[in-house]
Chain A
Amino acid sequence: MSYIDVDRVSKSFGTRVAINQLSLHIEKSERLVLFGPSGCGKTTVLRLLAGLEFPEQGSIRIDGRIVANAGKNLVPPEKRDLGMVFQDLALWPHMTVQQNLMFGLNARRVQKREAEARVREMLQRVGLEHRIDAKPHQLSGGEQQRVALARALVSRPSILLMDEPLSSLDDERKRAIAFDLLDLHSQFRFTLIYVTHDQTETDLLASRVCRMRDVQPAA
């Protein structure tokens, strides 16, 4: 049994089949890149793992526990111990950088003092401790990417899901953040599932690549 098992999962949106009988096995601390063209169902896989969608058929198991099975999410998203960086980052515009990072820690009832220390440490790791009181719209594109990454990792999840987070950056910034991500991975040893259609990102980040075509994966 792998750390994450996706077993013959299918998902449709109306008449459009996004995923058909997908099976996928991911080991702990692996850096898996889901690579493929737009519309092949990569993002849907992430959303199913996160619990933001439910599979119509098949099951998903994380760390030996069935989290979704045959049309039902058995474990809600917040109980799956994962972080996610969205394609559009989804930073909360009404909160400062610190509040964005504190949200998850507060929800998990981490002591205030410890939470603040973890936020500072994480911001230091991504080089943004001086932007702690800024709001998202006051940050540059690269800084926003780093905040989104920090927010996803500050609660130290076992799994990090990333949905084409670097697609809007130039090559130089893309490389810088990818190297930061590798550093963070070597420190926290989370399982990384990274969605992209960019070969450079794939080469930089993958320890294994799952190539998806149409609605069927060809690993």
Chain B
Amino acid sequence: MGRPVKAETVVLWLCVALVAVAGLVPIAAIAVESFRYNGHFSLNYYRELISAARFWPLLGNSIRLAMATTAVCGLIGVPAGILFAKSDLPLRSGFMWLLTVPFVLPPYFVALGWTRVVARIGQGASDLLFGFGGCVLVLSSVFLPITMLLTFASSSNVDRRLEEAARLVSGWPGVLRRVTLPLSAPGIAFSLVLVFLLAMGELSVPSFLRYPVLPVLSFTQFTASYNFGAATAAAVPLAAIAFIGVLVESVFLRDRDYRFRSTGQTLSISLQHWKSLSAVVIATLCFALVILPLSALFADAFSLAAMHEAMQRAGASVVRSVMYSAVAATILMALGFLLGDVMLSRPREQRIVNLLTLALFAIPGTVLSIGLVRLWNTPSTWFIYATPALLILGYTAQYCAVTTRLSLAGLMLIPISLDEAGRLNGAMWARRLFRISIPLSARTLVCAWLAAYILCLRDVPIALMTAPPGADPLSARILTLMANGAPPMIASLCLIMAIASLIPLAILTRVIPSRGMAR
């Protein structure tokens, strides 16, 4: 008689199967599609793509944009993250959440805000905004929170004893350079890889600011020409870069994964006479990257007529956006928590699932969407293709990494002995899950749900390409209305969208515990 299969093993593989169906199978489908021409195996699409005059410049532009964005995010985000985590900077919590705002909004909001700013300045500024420089500015504002928050989290988790031991023989610059930064390096490297991949796959900002990049080519092949083969051939290099990036990051982390005992406190650098200057620099940054573009964007939003028109033209999209995001967030929260719980004691599976979900997170939304449409657009699967289910599947694949990692991080804080005590008392896995893990993880679950909700709500490419006709979410609706809608109405819609995103962010700031500081 064979060994009985454990419930947690079944759950693990069911969850992995769901992620695979939602993300991996569509990617595989487009990879296969790109090698078929007139029903036969062929490299024709790739030959056409590579020989096309615009492919290499577009690829070069994408890499240039991603590298410049990553460099700016690294140069600003790492010092800012360290400053927020390790110093007595006044109002640091407020500054940090303010800098996070652009990330929770659709990326083109900041671009739209800057167009309003330059419209008031004049043609010269407009020339600077539309093109490479403008794209770097906007994408850096949008992705800066990734570097900043991950640096904050990594450096806050460095065991304070290690820093104290260094502090006995060295000043703060030496401690940061030799202890804090090397120990935070995996988190920082991860954030930089993530920024690079997200910038590489970004669609809405480069197309709005008229900077030609590879995702735009893939998108236009798909929407304008409806040429699946050419669109997938253009998408495959992006998918390959995402997989390689995630693989490199994973190998880098494998050798440098330091686990610390959480002391619940972090050391604080006294800035002394640098305090005012640092506060001014950070406040200027907040003004330039967040307040200026967003206030310019929302300036026209407060008229009653504009609000009325906005609700008339997109009121249903608002409701749909909130509904789709809430449903997807609930699925993502449950999926992430189940995967996290089951993987806690299985390091090998944990590595595989982390790699899989992270690759799906890093893959451009345009690529994933093309795959989803290709896979489900058949008569027998119309019930998925023609309904919001396709959109929900896309969200699930793209953002599963976030809820899984958040859940895992939260579950690791629960002493393993609590689960072991349950096991010794005869409780099976499901009982332990519902009676021990879930009640002790309320905060983790709320954080995971809110993070997933925000990410789904702000998503553009999946919303744009997989929503059923006439049932698009707000982020896609605004983008399509931008071509011919009146600016005040667009501003009102952006404001509504921002409120829908910022309320959960405000809740998140209350749910995430503030860290104790020690001098």
Contact = CB atoms under 8 A, between A and B. Distances in A.
B159 interface: yes
Contact of A88 (B161, B179, B258): B161
B519 A103 contact: no
A78 B168 contact: yes
Contact of B178 (A82, A90, A103): A103
A35 interface: no
Contacts of B384: none
Interface residues of A, number: 25
B304 interface: no
B313 interface: no
Interface in A57-115: 73, 76-78, 80, 82-84, 86, 88, 90-94, 103-104, 107-108
A191 interface: no
Interface in B462-519: 518-519
B372 to A, nearest CB: 42
Interface in B154-183: 159, 161-162, 164-171, 174, 178-179, 182-183
A94 B182 CA distance: 7
B164 A52 contact: yes
A122 to B, nearest CB: 14
B165 A82 contact: no
A94 B167 contact: no
B161 A50 contact: no
A93 B165 contact: no
Given A53-B519, A93-B258, A94-B182, A86 B169 contact: no
Nearest to A104: B169
A92 B170 CA distance: 14
A84 B170 contact: no
A190 interface: no
A194 interface: no
Contacts of A92: 162, 165-166, 179, 183
A155 interface: yes
Nearest to A80: B168
A94 B258 contact: yes
Most B CB within 10 A of own CB, among A54, A88, A108: A88
B164 A86 contact: yes
B161 A90 contact: yes
B168 A84 contact: yes
A103 B171 CA distance: 12
Interface of A: 50, 52-54, 73, 76-78, 80, 82-84, 86, 88, 90-94, 103-104, 107-108, 151, 155
15 contacts: A50-B168, A53-B519, A78-B167, A78-B168, A78-B171, A83-B169, A84-B164, A84-B165, A86-B165, A90-B165, A92-B162, A92-B166, A93-B162, A93-B258, A94-B256
Q: Which 7 pairs between the two chains have the least Cβ-Cβ distance?
A: A104-B169, A107-B170, A90-B161, A90-B165, A107-B169, A77-B168, A77-B167
